[in-house]
């Protein structure tokens, strides 16, 4: 079961959305954009072509950055 954690986010704050291609993730990206939050979207890799389409769709919905999880924790080193 996943949880939704609500904070006192302000414009310019960053949020991380896991499973951002889900319907809920996409809705939260739009909400984050409306609140002027920096949204970091994390998605699972489904191949280069599908990943490119996901990046484009999520960026259009308000993602500041889309991180594709190919099963490696090394991506954290590039973000942090």
Q: Which domains does the chain have, with CATH numbers?
A: 14-79 (3.40.50.720)
Query: Can you give the pLDDT at residue 71?
Result: 79
pLDDT at position 47 is 87
Which tens digit of pLDDT belongs to each residue from 18-73?
A: 999 999 999 999 999 998 999 999 999 888 899 899 999 999 999 999 999 887 65
Residue 52: the pLDDT is 92
How far, in Å, CA of 12 to CA of 18, rounded?
A: 19
What is d(CA 76, CA 23) in angstroms, rounded to the nearest whole number? 25
Residue 13 host element (H or E): none
pLDDT confidence bin for 1, thresholds 50/70/90: very low
* pLDDT for position 9: 82
Q: How many residues does the chain have?
A: 80
**By the 8 A CB rule, do 20 and 42 touch?**
yes
- Identify which of 42, 40, 32 has the alpha carbon closest to the alpha carbon of residue 11: 32
Confidence of residue 80 (pLDDT cuts 50, 70, 90): very low
Number of Cβ within a 10 Å radius of residue 74: 7
């Amino acid at each position: 079961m996943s949880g939704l954690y609500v904070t006192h986010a302000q414009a310019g704050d960053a949020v991380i959305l896991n499973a951002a291609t889900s319907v809920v993730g996409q809705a939260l990206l739009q909400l984050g954009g409306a609140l002027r939050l920096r949204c970091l979207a994390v998605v699972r890799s489904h191949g280069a072509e599908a990943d490119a389409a996901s990046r484009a769709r999520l960026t259009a919905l308000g993602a500041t950055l889309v991180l594709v999880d190919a099963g490696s924790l090394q991506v954290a080193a590039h973000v942090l």
